[in-house]
Amino acid sequence: MPKPKALRYGFIITSTSASIKDPGQLLRAALARSKEGAEVGIFLIGDGILIAASDPKGNIATKSLLAAMVAGAKVLVSKDHLEATGLSGERLPKGAKIVEKPYKELVAKVMEEWDRVVVC
């Protein structure tokens, strides 16, 4: 019997607020799926991009993002939102990909590539 295909997960983070929609909790879930060998994509838009540009020493969400990347998660960052905050790509972790057309890319990921999607 053939081995079932692993699920592909997409985590879309639009906020940095530590509320009921905690991005740190979502990123810990992304890390867990990555460690299990699942294909994981993390898409940062809106204020969510600030997680990638933050100092990991003081930000648990940023630590979780970096750990997920080490475990194999692919991180995509909206160029539009990066520019809107005045940040440059130099502030992003190595391996994060800046997406020129974020909404087109996001729709493609959600509709064609990811099997499960979680938004925060």
Q: Are 64 and 82 in contact (CB under 8 A)?
A: no
Count Cβ atoms within 10 A of the Cβ of residue 88 and give its class: 0-12 exposed, 13-18 middle, 19 or more buried: exposed
| Averaged pLDDT for residues 7-25 | 77
Can you tell me the distance from the alpha carbon of 108 to that of 7, in angstroms, rounded to the nearest whole number? 16
Cα–chain center distance at 44? 5
For each of the domains in the chain, give its residue range(s) and CATH number, in order of start.
8-119 (3.40.1260.10)
Residue 114 pLDDT grade (very low, low, confident, very high; cuts 50, 70, 90): very high
pLDDT tens digits, 38-56: 999 999 999 888 888 887 7
| Averaged pLDDT for residues 7-34 | 81
